[in-house]
Structure 1
Amino acid sequence: MEAKDTKIIKINPHNPEIEKIKEAAEIIKNGGTVAFPTETVYGLGANALADKAIEKIFLAKGRPQDNPLIIHISSIDQLNNLVESIPDRAYPLMDRFWPGPLTLIFNRTKIVPDRITGGLSTVAIRMPSHNIALELIKYSELPIAAPSANTSGKPSPTNSSHVIHDLLGKVDMIIDGGSTGIGLESTVLDISGEIPTILRPGGVTIEDLLTILPKVEYDKALEITDREIVPKSPGQKYKHYSPDARLIIVKGEVDEIIQKTNNLYSKYESKGMKVGIIATKQTYDKYRGKNIIIAGDRNMPETIGASLFNILREFDELKVDIIIAEGVEEKGIGKAIMNRMRKAADGKVV
């Protein structure tokens, strides 16, 4: 496939043009690949029930075959063919968080291809809240498998330019639906076992889930190295979200973060390296004269989550050698932000 073989179409995210949606849906029905926006990040979609279509996702992304995919649906009825049963605890979760950025892991039926699940007995499913995504699934009349629409291991795409950069000439269609909202992939919650377990933190926080469920745990795999686990969820294994530059996270009290960041900046710059800083609204003026991008407001961490992947890509364009990123408090969506930062930094935290 060449660049000219990828069709790019613009669709209004607030009021999607149905004829354009139908054109994209025909590609899905015919076994092709369509990149489309969701409320989290852009996804690369294909028919979730067709092995050949799923294989195109792995090839386009350069994705490891044992990394499971999430299936996207547009109605609860679509669950019936995909899961063995719907646990009682799932219903209040779906009532509250679907459509939205929560992926649930169920025991799967045989209709779900092994390529989707990495050979596991479980399957990850969510219902996105983005208008374009919902209409595309609806008119495709199929569940759609859709990992993030980027080259595997690189920062996830939060606008169409990121998708075009990574996948032009590798997919059949790219839908330009503007910027995504949350900017971090969905929370993945395994409800197939005894205790509901978060395999990947995201826009739905543990605090949110505990308003519905009496007990929720974080998966122990979030704290250990990639090589020790068999992934049950996207994002559990392999270095993820990685910019071209080396990323270092600085944690601690804000004054300590500022001092350490300035020291690291001077250290690497003295070695002739080009250094970037990911700062916050509260701290950017402490780095005057340096190469800074403001991620958002410390008091509103969702603003940091929404911009993180875009900033990593901006620093790639600036050809920096080192990125120093301020850590955030690990509560609420801060847990998801730090999870993505650690993956991008390959665990390098000071």
Structure 2
Amino acid sequence: MDTIAVRMPKSSVFLSVIKKFGKPIAAPSANESGYISSTKAIHVFHSFKKKIDLIIDSGQSDFGLESTIIDLSSNKIILKRPGIIDIESLEVFIGKKIYESKTNTKKPNSPGQFLKHYSPITPLKLNVKLPKDGDAFLGFGKLNFNHNPSLNLSKKGDLNEAAFNLFNFLRKLDKLNKNNISVYPIPKKGIGKAINERLARAECK
């Protein structure tokens, strides 16, 4: 690649690691490529076990989703990966229009661009309003039915809470070895766009 992505983390623990080291750090994602992202130290441990020497545990990720990535290498500002900072907020901050990138499966030039990504082992089904018996269910908002087993990303319909819980809950449901993980529709607004983008890639076979 002829470009690099530069990121300043918010985590006070990781900022102290950078300060202690005194130089930029190349830090790839702490999870196996293609599988559900890690948001807790225990997720990292289960992914790598003895393949790495040290895990620094600073608690669960504050936001749950990966960073927003924008490409500034041309005249147009391109959104490479939606994240916790939504495109509307970025456009207000930058003062310019941001264009959405098309997925490049042959030669991705940014993290998270493969069609299949963030995927559980259990098949995922999206926009399911009534799950079938034998399926695990990932809900959102106030629902008028019960299903077992199920987890709710946010009973009060808070998209930020849903983003915080997304990967952790997917990992929990994946461990149950059900026929499918059925996911209730998530609003496609604000950070909901990033949540739906992750789920769409996770659904790909």
What is the identity percentage for the equivalent residue pairs of Structure 1 and Structure 2?
Answer: 35
274, 278, 293: which one pairs with 2:138?
278
Change (3 A) 1:334 1:298: farther
The corresponding residue for 1:172 is 53
**1:1-350 alignment, distance < 5 Å:** 120-212=1-93, 213-221=95-103, 227=105, 229-237=106-114, 239-250=116-127, 258=129, 261-262=130-131, 265=132, 269=133, 274-283=134-143, 286-297=144-155, 299-346=157-204
Structure 1 runs not aligned, ≥5 long: 1-119, 251-256
Aligned letter for 1:293? L
Q: Secondary structure at the match of 2:5?
A: strand
Q: Partners of 1:303 and 1:338 in 2: how far apart?
A: 14
Change (3 A) 1:289 1:249: closer
Aligned length: 204
Q: By how many angstroms is 1:124 displaced? A: 0.7
More helix by share: 1
Q: Secondary structure at the match of 2:168?
A: helix
Deviations 1:122-141 (A, max 9, x none): 11111011101111111112
Q: Partners of 1:207 and 1:298 in 2: how far apart?
A: 23
Give every structure 1 segment of 4 or more consecutive aligned residues whose post-TM-superposition deviation is greater than 3 Å: none
Q: Secondary structure at the match of 1:315?
A: helix
Contact 2:140 2:185 in 1 (8 A): no
Q: Secondary structure at the match of 1:192?
A: coil
Q: Partners of 2:43 and 2:111 in 1: how far apart?
A: 20
Larger radius of gyration: 1
Contact 2:139 2:152 in 1 (8 A): yes
Change (3 A) 1:173 1:180: same
Aligned letter for 1:310? N
Q: By how many angstroms is 1:299 displaced? A: 3.6
Deviations 1:111-170 (A, max 9, x none): xxxxxxxxx211111101110111111111221122221122111111111111111201
Deviations 1:7-46 (A, max 9, x none): xxxxxxxxxxxxxxxxxxxxxxxxxxxxxxxxxxxxxxxx
Bigger relative CO (Cα 8 Å, ≥ 6 apart): 2
User: With structure 1 as the length reference, what TM-score do the two structures score?
Assistant: 0.56
User: With structure 2 as the length reference, what TM-score do the two structures score?
Assistant: 0.93
CA RMSD of aligned residues (A): 1.6
Aligned letter for 1:342? A
Contact 2:41 2:56 in 1 (8 A): yes
Q: Partners of 2:199 and 2:156 in 1: how far apart?
A: 15
Contact 2:68 2:81 in 1 (8 A): yes
Q: Partners of 2:99 and 2:115 in 1: how far apart?
A: 22
Aligned letter for 1:140? F
Q: By how many angstroms is 1:178 displaced? A: 1.1
Q: Partners of 2:90 and 2:173 in 1: how far apart?
A: 34
Q: Partners of 2:147 and 2:8 in 1: how far apart?
A: 45
Structure 2 runs not aligned, ≥5 long: none
Q: By how many angstroms is 1:335 displaced? A: 0.9
